Amino acid sequence: MKASWLVAVIATLFATTGFASTQFEQGVVKKSAIPGEFILKFSTNQKVSSMSQFAASIGEPAIVFNSLALNNHARVIMSAKVGSGFSTHVLINSKKMGAFMWGKLSKHGKLLDMQPNYKYEGEFREGLQAPNDPDIGEQYFHTNMGNSQAWPLLNLQNKIIVAVTDDGIDLDHEDLKDSIYTNPNEIPGNGIDDDHNGYIDDVNGWDFASDDNDPRPTSGSHGTHVAGIIGASIDNGVGVAGTAAPIVELMPIRFYGGNFTSAMVAEAYRYAADNGAHIVSTSYNIDFFVGDKIFEEAIAYVYNKGLIHFNSAGNGYRPDPARKAFEELILVCSTNQDDAKSDFSNYGEGVEICAPGGDILSTLPDDGYGTMSGTSMATPNAAAAAAVLWSQHPKWTRDQVVAQLLGTADNVDSVNPNYIEQMGMGRVNTFRSIQEDLPAPAVKSIVESDQGAVTLVNGELRVKFTHRLDPKTVNQDKFILSGPSGSVKMKLAKPYKMGSDFVTLQVGSLSVGDYTLTVDSSIRDPFGQSLQGDKQVAFIIQQ
């Protein structure tokens, strides 16, 4: 059955040249399949990083596969443990490798899935207002976020690496050069992959757009501006200060040079996860990646490695952006100096937190400074606050850092009466995050509820809690629903993750009547705190 399905897929891919050239518009983004390039997912018996290891893991002669790698016809882009086994993604160029070898790979018994390597073209950066004079506006966000209060209290012994996935960082900027990550296991300029991570001389990160070891921007200032918000040097007598300046190392990852490909983004995220990053900050439109399986597996890879991955919520001034589907991510919306939602910012379901993103003064290439606005600017502020918090608690897990950061955010509903509970947990507060103890979580409400009456959407019941929960305890699926006819059979609709706004239960269709949902006492937050208060929620299903 499996073999016939794969043969049918392969036949479809090659029966029409139109598949490779099909294009469609999603806003200002154009998606197309790169002719001849495919990403194949295999079951392997180990995690692999080279084609020779891959060959051994699927029982093929290594010498043949090594020749494919040397000629840039095939390479491993991602490999990870899945359940009791491993899965490995290989990017191949079927046009160059020849029909025989393509046939061996595409019909191999361990092939699980395949898709084209998609190319995405358009404008993805989400903060592109023209820089103003460097002296206009101050860095008000240090006051709003409590950064100025937090800095004197910091233990500076522990550095946190934040990977900035963007259009490049000016490594030589007077206000950034002392904050740039240096790979301790790579000898500069010797032309050797000293640390055997697959990248030669990756001393300061990697440029995946040009596939070289220089992640400086070739044009544009977006990434340099983002980097300065996180890590512009403090107390150095020049320019501005980054939120996490005292404790951060910026890992430059250039993954945008006018377009994306599925493989390029996956490799960039894997690089961050495999090379020491604690946090990834991405300020790009990713709505068009919904449905791209390679992208989905790449962010899952980062999540499963225990990193925090922040992404901008978007500048479309609309609710519930499509990227809400990626619950491995922490989506960030933007506020202005008065804590009001920025006019341009998306909001609503899927947004976890907000941060200052309007008129943000930061670094620009060539020792410049200027202001930009966008959720692109809010995202590095949130990522930097997480870095500050993690540096003070280096033994904390990702889940603990996320729960604490979100749970100590300032509620800004009073300033945003039209967006009540639409801006995540509130505006991030660095000072509170390192000073306060997180209260025990409690059941808050059932979503889609109006004075106790619930409207089911797709047969799902969504339960909201006051703070983030420990996914391990939630995903044991210990919820009980009782109704007019007694116990109701149900299950988790999807795994709960740290980017999940709700616990989603699949209950099917419910008859009219009164119901009670009971949350098991074993459910805890990432710090081990049990639920406080009533663990039962009553609701009504009406006709």
pLDDT (tens digit per residue) in 467-476: 999 999 999 9
- Name the residue ranges covered by the structural domains of the chain: 2-122, 141-435, 443-541
* CA-CA-CA-CA torsion sign (500, 506, 509, 510): negative
Radius of gyration of the chain (CA): 24
Q: What is the CATH number of domain 443-541?
A: 2.60.40.1220
Closest CA relative to residue 229, chosen from 244, 247, 249: 244
pTM of the predicted protein model: 0.84
Residue 4 binned pLDDT confidence (cut-offs 50, 70, 90) = very low
Q: State CA 470 to chain mean position distance.
A: 19
Report, as an integer, the average pLDDT of 509-521: 93
Higher local confidence (pLDDT), 71 or 155: 155
The mean predicted confidence, pLDDT, of the chain is 88
Is 178:463 a contact under the CB 8 Å cutoff?
no
Q: How confident is the model at residue 102 (pLDDT cuts 50, 70, 90)?
A: confident
Domain 141-435 carries which CATH code? Answer: 3.40.50.200
Number of H helices, E strands in the chain: 15, 25
pLDDT per residue over 308-333, tens digit each?
A: 999 999 999 999 999 999 999 999 99
With 60 as the cut, is the pLDDT of residue 8 above it? no
In whole angstroms, give the CA distance from residue 508 to residue 307: 34
CA–chain centroid gap for 211, Å, is 22
Q: Which residues contact 418 (CB under 8 A, 6 or more apart)?
A: none
The predicted-structure confidence for 238-279, as pLDDT tens digits, reads as follows 899 999 998 999 999 999 988 889 999 999 999 999 999 999
